[in-house]
Structure 1
């Protein structure tokens, strides 16, 4: 599988990675969720070259993850806003942050905390079943072919939980 052909793979993860699967794109998305919207602000916060930043923003825009909105007419200037498709990436970003908070921190601990506005408590990313609300762990989930995939080659069904 070639990197530039990920968007053509019959795998949802591969197709997703074709849009958000590089380090600059993920930190741009992180900053979008922190309220950064303007090109110069992304550039200043990230220390990224204009060329790479422009390329990643264009890719996110073309994929429908970000939209451009004018904030000034003369000269015309636009800012980048998350679309509904982009906001749907919030659990992904929050889960990656949580993983980093558990496995990549130094002796000072996590650099930020997430407080749930509704209850006021600090929170962390937890994946739950959409039907019963229980926490989802790898050993609790079976992967099956969907009707859309029936008849195509599928990896063997996992019979044991990953170790």
Structure 2
């Protein structure tokens, strides 16, 4: 596969062997807690919008997902899970939850032990699940969808093959 072939080469790959992995989708949910506050000043009513929380939430511990940026820790933004085309993208900083979870071995929070959550933030995409909403539809026992062989070749063997066919073996 490293050098160009000198004659026609044929590779036969079983259909089940080619389906090695899953298409992943984020398991996290985007939380936007914005409310409208009514205020009355000098007899006039005024509405003001306030945001208490906006960001990604861990599906297990419920903590806000943070990332390290320029030596400080900041909340993850909407673009940390999506690329410039709006497709979900797995990156090194958004694979696992790094929130500290209290173990409650001691009654004093300052003396208690903490541990990283380490929950996976990506799950196998289920074809009966609405995209990125987290709400499931009625599932009829469908299992998560595996990667098609064409996607596998496109991803891992880019510019290596001229033609691929799906002849049954």
Report the TM-score, using the length of structure 2 for normalisation. Answer: 0.26
Q: Which has the higher contact order (CA 8 A, sep 6+)?
A: 2
Higher share of residues assigned helix: 1
* Greater fraction of residues in strand: 2
TM-score, normalization by structure 1: 0.27
Which is higher, the Rg of structure 1 or of structure 2? 2
